[in-house]
Amino acid sequence: MNCGSLSFSGHAVRRMFERGLSRQDVAAAIRDGEVIADYPDDRPYPSCLLLGFVDNRPVHVVVAQDQAQACCIVVTAYIPDSALWADGFRKRRS
C-alpha cells in the first residue's frame, strides 16, 4: 500500500500497546503486506484489511486511506487468532 504519510488513531495506539506491536511493526506490515479485504464504503475514508508478517508473526492492520491528502490512518492492528482465520490468516473461518 502506498502511504505518503502514516498516522495512528487513538484506538490503534491503545490496541497496539496491548498487543505488543510497535509503530515500526505496523508500518512494516503496511509496506510489505497484502490486502486481504477491501471496505470501499467505510467513512470518512475507504479502508482495507492488510496481512503482513513481522518476525514471522502474522499481523492484521486496518488502514483507511485519504487519497486527497496522500495519507493513511491506522484504524487498528492485531495478531490474528488461528482459530478464527484460515488460509494463512487470509480468510475468516465460517
Predicted local distance difference test score (pLDDT) of residue 67:
83
Cell of 5: 504519510
Per DSSP bridges, beta strands 47-54 and 57-66 are antiparallel
Res 36 pLDDT > 90: yes
Residue 43 in any domain: the answer is yes
When pLDDT is cut at 50, 70 and 90, the band that residue 69 belongs to is: confident
Instruction: Report the phi/psi class of residue 4: left, alpha or beta, with left for phi > 0 and alpha for psi in -120 to 50.
Output: alpha
Question: Distance (Å, rounded) from C-alpha 73 to C-alpha 10?
Answer: 11
How much is the pTM? 0.92
Predicted local distance difference test score (pLDDT) of residue 3:
80
Cell of 23: 509503530
The enclosing domain of 29 has a CATH number of: 3.30.2310
Which residues span the domain enclosing 35?
Answer: 5-81
Q: What is the average pLDDT across 35-52?
A: 96
Predicted local distance difference test score (pLDDT) of residue 1:
65
Residue 92 in any domain: the answer is no
Predicted local distance difference test score (pLDDT) of residue 70:
84
Question: Distance (Å, rounded) from C-alpha 83 to C-alpha 93?
Answer: 8
Residue 47 in any domain: the answer is yes
As for how many domains the chain has, the answer is 1
Residue 89 in any domain: the answer is no
Residue 57 in any domain: the answer is yes
Residue 87 in any domain: the answer is no
